[in-house]
Amino acid sequence: MKMARILFVVVVVVLIGVAVYFGTRGQRGDLVVGGKNFTEQTILGEMAAQLIEDRLDLRVTRKFHLQTNLPIKMIQRGELSLYPDYTGTGYTDILDNTYQGEPPEEIYAHVKRVYPEEFDLEWLKPLGFENAYSLTMRAEQAEELGIEKISDLEEHTDALQAGFDPAFLDRQDGYPGLVEHYGFEFETPPKQLAIGLMYRACKEGEVDVIDAFTTDGRIDKFNLKILEDDKRFFPPYDAAFVVRQDALEKYPELRETLNLLAGRIDTKSMQRLNYAVDEEKRREEDVAREFLVDQGLLSAQGE
């Protein structure tokens, strides 16, 4: 009887160990890839994660759908190893510089130089596209009102309803800075809208003006018009991965692996990838993998 109890305890301990092992697989990893709370960030994060898993044979933990201001804080605390970001965000929002019309290569050079000094982080090579903020309207409404550029909105601030995402309403490179730079604001306070809802809300006339991302495929599909930033308020937003320097030191091949994506994703490609998720309802991980396979970036084992 005593032996049976011992055997029972041993079996229970083994089963608990197995459950813990399989329960934690995929939750802890050698590297942690993050992403902000919109589709493009998850697609890019998946590309990075899948490349790392395939080529470096490392486990990757994914932490996507983070609030906009969290990744930079989390990566500094060591809670993330890397995440995709945009040079304009680094230059204005993180480093608190004022954009004065500097060219894209100068903005990139600045964040590339300062991030290691300030945060022990490195900007890798640009991915090949810019995802800039823009103000966007229904094309037919813009044509009817004769609106081509942001300055033209000033004559219609009493009649137009704006709708912006929370980050744009709060950031200096968003609505507060735009008001100061262009010298006008909408008479009716802008509605706060989730990023995923803005485009359809504009299409269906719930709002008239939104802050849009230029790589969003719904701009073209919903017949929306990007207004010209005629006073050059929005800085360049070239996409690239930001990586902890200690991760690059620990895994020397990590930089080369992630830089395989450098220059491979143009604006049209990113629009198509975003649209596949946002409107065709495909999974981000599937869209990312398909792109990597089409580009020949996954090894034979990964394919």
pLDDT digits (tens, 9 = 90+) for 5-33: 544 443 333 344 433 333 333 344 699 99
> How high does pLDDT run on average in the chain?
90
Residue 76: CB atoms within 10 A of its CB come to 14
Q: Which pLDDT value is given to residue 171?
A: 84
Answer whether 39's CB lies under 8 Å from 278's CB: yes
Q: Where are the beta strands (DSSP E) in the chain?
A: 31-36, 60-66, 82-86, 121-123, 133-138, 162-164, 191-192, 209-213, 224-226, 239-244
CA–chain centroid gap for 156, Å, is 32
Residues 103, 41, 170, 160, Cα dihedral to 10°: 90
Which pLDDT value is given to residue 173? 81
Q: Give tens-digit pLDDT for 76-101.
A: 999 999 999 999 999 999 999 989 99
pTM for this entry? 0.81
CA–CA separation, 195 and 8 (whole Å):
54
The per-residue pLDDT for 172 is 81
CA distances from 48 to 89, 108, 126, 259 (A): 20, 20, 14, 10
What domains can be seen in the chain, in order of their start residue? 25-130+237-294 (3.40.190.10), 133-226 (3.40.190.120)
pLDDT value at position 21? 35
Mean pLDDT by 10 residues, the chain (303 residues): 44 38 46 96 98 96 95 98 97 92 96 98 98 96 98 98 94 91 97 92 98 93 96 95 98 97 96 95 98 88 50
d(C-alpha 216, C-alpha 181), whole Å: 25
